[in-house]
Amino acid sequence: MRIFLAGAGGAIGRRLTPLLRQAGHTVVGTTRSAEKVPAIAALGAEPVVVDVFDAGALAATLDAAKADVVVHQLTDLAFAPGTPRYEEGLARNARLRIEGTRNLVAAAKAAGIARMIAQSIAFVYAPGKGARVESDPLDVDAAKAQTVASVKALEESVLSLPEGIVLRYGFFYGPGTWAPEAASRRPAVHIDAAAQAAALAVTRGRSGVYNVVEDDDLVSSAKARRELGFDARFRLAA
């Protein structure tokens, strides 16, 4: 299959591309930065430079890719938690989730692509008894209002596709993340296991939402294990 990987130069994209190639897929990988083109090509993808906020260029690029599936791993989180510009990063990422996803979904519909796998988050559930599952409500606490609103917009856009799949990831740890050695916050998921879930979702799973985390008392990934074959212990070979 031909996979249009939006965000191929990001933390997930760099781990996901080899998995897709090993599975026999052709990968068209996007980046906003021409500087990332050689690294994306080195992973075995066909790199393209496009800005998701340029709806016309994005639609033309996706149409030209002749893709079967879109994988949406776009983020804009340049500033780590606790740094002076972290709030700015959250606002930029919220815009990407809302406007960028809307443009990507519109481009997919125009190109006749039914299946999209998109990155969301599993750490905005409202408090409750027991591990949170996909049908539980999200937190409406004012401190999280911007993030929750952008997550809802992203998920609603993706799920408007006939085969829209949303992966709610835990806090990443592992290579290329803000926690390279070990999980520092819960719910957590290793970056390689997160990438594996996206690779599996290319051909598995029904339209809907899946938690992709290391199971604990906060969030359950039973649905992803059952329907996608997700394994939180998965790691790429060194």
Q: Does residue 141 fall inside a structural domain?
A: yes
Q: Does residue 207 fall inside a structural domain?
A: yes
Q: Does residue 237 fall inside a structural domain?
A: no
Least confident of 38-47, 110-119, 144-153, 194-203: 144-153
pLDDT score, position 143: 62
Q: Does residue 236 fall inside a structural domain?
A: no
pLDDT score, position 150: 94
State the average pLDDT over residues 65-76. 95
Contact present, 138 and 148 (Cβ < 8 Å) = yes
State the average pLDDT over residues 32-39. 94
pLDDT at 83 over 80: no
Whole-number Å distance between alpha carbons of 189 and 215:
9
What angle (nearest 5°) sits at the alpha carbon of residue 36, between those of residues 28 and 89?
100
Q: Does residue 125 fall inside a structural domain?
A: yes
Local confidence band at 238 (pLDDT 50, 70, 90 cut-offs):
low
What CATH number does the domain containing 158 carry?
Answer: 3.40.50.720
Q: Provide the 3-class DSSP secondary structure of residue 143.
A: helix
Q: Does residue 169 fall inside a structural domain?
A: yes
pLDDT score, position 140: 79
Give pLDDT tens digits for 149-204.
999 999 999 999 999 999 999 999 999 887 888 898 999 999 999 999 999 999 99
Which residue range(s) make up the domain with 91? 2-228
User: What is the total count of domains within the chain?
Assistant: 1
Q: Does residue 238 fall inside a structural domain?
A: no
Indicate the average pLDDT of the chain: 93
